[in-house]
Structure 1
Amino acid sequence: MKSTESLSFSNFKASKFSLRPHYLVVGQPIDHSLSPLMHNLSLRYHSIDAEYIAVELPPNSITDFVAWINNDNFLGCNITIPWKREFVQFPDQLSEEVLAVGAMNTLSKTDDGYTSKGDNTDIYGFKVPLLEYDNSLERGRAIIFGTGGASLAVQYALMEMDFEEIILVSRSPYSANPLNNSVFTEVVDYHQWQSFAEEAELFVNTTPLGMGARKDLSPVDAVDSDLLAGKICYDLIYNPITTEFLSLAESAGAKTIGGLDMLIHQGSRSFEIWTGHTFPIEKVRNVLLNYFSA
């Protein structure tokens, strides 16, 4: 089995991997996940006898999977789209971040081996690459495209970083539910954000625009790309490395941050929670870059 292949949950249970210690990433779809590539390298680096497997989890398998959490060989898992909110109801304990955001991406077993805990390492993963610009950030206004679970994690991270104002851009602004926090937040549609752009210093794409079948799309139209000049533009998408949004931003003279570093750092925090070991970040980054250049 290759590092980037996945199994259905039923096939996983019938496989040899279920009989030995394992970590999982579950979602639907899951074929795109590069988490097995990162975590299996890290497990081998620390000589940990376990495997990390990508598992396709449809709605009708969730109850069965929750029971699997009690399996002695199950050591932890990552949760991705579309189950980050759904899984909040399952762990015995939830971190402060999960309680605030209402979404989790990491499930671990506590020291007693019988209880479970939910964490959100997306928040940490988002913040680390942005801190490279720490000295130049005024922490005034940020514009976030999208209002889903990933957007909530970004909102929480920006609140922790003391941003003063967040503008959320939504296709359905009247039904959007911003994170309840002390930061002034306004929700606008895709025809309104342009009037807030001049005083914004950070633009973040949390939508799927730019990946998969939507790889040629961007939350910012080409006609508006000049509004990104001199700003920091951050895309959570990591495949492709340079999305249409980032390409427009670079052409306009913006500083850009891709999703690959966020992927690495959220994975780093998950790995530390599970194993107590540090992630070999540079080795992981090199393997991922080689994967994309192959």
Structure 2
Amino acid sequence: MTIRLGPNRYGKAECRLVTVVRDGPRHELTDLNVSTRLAGRLDATHLTGDNADVLPTDTQKNTVYAFARDGFAGIEEFGLRLARHFVTGPIDRAQVHVEAYGWRRLGGHTFARAGDEVRSATLTATAGQAWAVGGLHGLTLLNTTGSMFKGFPRDQYTTLPEADDRILATAVDARWRFATLDVDWNAAFAAIREGLVGAFTDTYSRSLQQTLYAMGERVLERVPEVAEVRLALPNRHHFLVDLSPFGLDNPDAVYVAADRPYGLIEGTVLRDDAPLPGLAWDLGAA
């Protein structure tokens, strides 16, 4: 029997970081969660405990804070700069995952947390190339009409009635891969988010799958720098409450919002001519 070391990596997870730009009376606030993952020639530390090639995770944390000192043009630019910095010596692959939490401005230097929506970016660098994956999760959307679900197959276990009109709700989990690093990151994110929301709003939905495709298609139409979009859309079910035991009708007014179980619709929308990165792109957090 042969035993060997398989793929491995290490890093510093969830470095919480808040920056404040104080130029002028309107301060700019950025609230981040940054994680690093490094991989390379690290056999010795696993097999013999020799740490000569192991950059301490504490050093990685300190680098994150130091690189934030002079600001950044966007979370993608910040993560890319960090990832490229870590690719040196025995480290041949570095990945930086950044989550940005939204704050709503109330005044020149006063803010309120903007809910559960989180912007993300995963930046990966090797000695020869780099690529960027953007993301957004926790964007909760709901249409009170303009959605149906009918014409599906039925068998002895089917109890779901066909719906000519229903509430359609989801919490968007989106990832998109950029085909280039020559991007105005913040403008691209704004256009992507607008495309996702706009397609959800505009599409008369006969299935959540149809809506998923429309959302991905809208992003690719609006943002040429994006090569592909991956979406996971949970179906946040809303069921009419039976009020007949109380002698009342329910004219599509009262619903129960069920949190589980739920349908989960996932899919990828991509350009046929989109260049692929040298290594499969990673959707997961660092």
TM-score by structure 2 length?
0.27
TM-score by structure 1 length?
0.27
Give the helix-richer structure, 1 or 2: 1
Give the strand-richer structure, 1 or 2: 2
